[in-house]
Structure 1
Amino acid sequence: MLPPPWTPPSTPAFAPTPDPLTPARDITHGHFEAGDQVMVIKGVAGGRLCGEAMRVVAPSWHTPTDEDGWRLRDPNGGAQTFITAHPRYLVHLSRRCPDCLIFQRAMEDHLLPKYAGHADAIIDCGWYTTTALGQLVHIADARSGR
């Protein structure tokens, strides 16, 4: 599951798909380590899960969740090369670990049937935003006023 580069067009033709899986995911900070290649699953493209591939750089406090997070680097650079994310948003790309594979499979089972008739579309499910502090925040973790 290698993700395509993540610069999707907006997809207003599709209503946001709720994400009941990520907010409830129980994954610890220690599950990832500096150097890991990870992906934040953000939607579907070409009948597969897609998102942003990044490299874990260093531990970082994730202010929106008041928990340990990870500083991530986007190898493609761009307007925001570094962000901080909560571990539950991440899946391993650099190794096949059971926890990430189970989560990935659950996301496939949840999302792929919803967009089966739109195999050529890039669907951004709209679950994430980046704060002014450069922190990736899932809509379920967003605090009012931030």
Structure 2
Amino acid sequence: MIPPSWTSAPTPAFSPIPDPLTPARDITHAHFQAGDQVVVIKGVTSGELWGEAVRIVAPSWHTPTDEDGWRLRDATGGAQTFITAHPRYLVHLGRPCPDCLIYLRAMEDYLLPKYAGHDALIDCGWYTTTALNQLVHVADARGGR
């Protein structure tokens, strides 16, 4: 498997497909708490959803959306050990959360059939990071970022 990276793959195996689910997701800041382990779904690999697993550290303003966000920590470190993300990008890991499970199921129903039979890691190209280490979905990107 390709090592995780917060930026999109430079040459994806497939053209990025639109993400109709995440931009419309109605999840508030209060849905998550410091200490929660979460994942940002970025694509598919070997017939399963793929994403970045991180831990929520503290509240943080998400400049790209001008809304409350969360500061996230990647325990594996790297150039972007800490990033800020909007709650709608996040999915609980390791605990049964009905809202997150519904979102995951919808992502599976949408993405998995599109890449059935492909074993490669497919980054859908939905996310990038700003100069301020803010994770931003392409639907939330402002001109000039």
TM-score by length of 2: 0.93
Identity rate, percent:
80
How many corresponding residue pairs? 143
Query: Which residue in the other structure is 2:79 paired with?
Result: 79
Amino acid in the other structure paired with 2:87? P
* Counterpart-to-counterpart distance in 1, 2:21 and 2:33: 23
Query: Which residue in the other structure is 1:122 paired with?
Result: 121
Amino acid in the other structure paired with 1:6? P
Query: Which residue in the other structure is 2:141 paired with?
Result: 142
TM-score by length of 1: 0.93
On the 8 A contact 2:56/2:70 being kept in 1, the answer is yes
> Deviations 1:32-81 (Å, cap 9, x if unpaired)?
00000000000001110010000000000000000000000001111110
Moved runs in structure 1, 4+ residues, more than 3 A? 7-13
Query: Which residue in the other structure is 1:6 paired with?
Result: 4
Q: Where in structure 2 are the equivalents of 1:82-97 lying within 5 Å?
A: 82-97=82-97
Query: Which residue in the other structure is 2:19 paired with?
Result: 19
* Counterpart-to-counterpart distance in 2, 1:43 and 1:11: 14
Structure 2: which 5+ residue stretches go unaligned? none
* Counterpart-to-counterpart distance in 1, 2:76 and 2:105: 26
**What's the C-alpha RMSD, in Å, of the aligned pairs?**
1.7
Higher relative contact order (CA 8 A, sep 6+): 2
Query: Which residue in the other structure is 2:38 paired with?
Result: 38
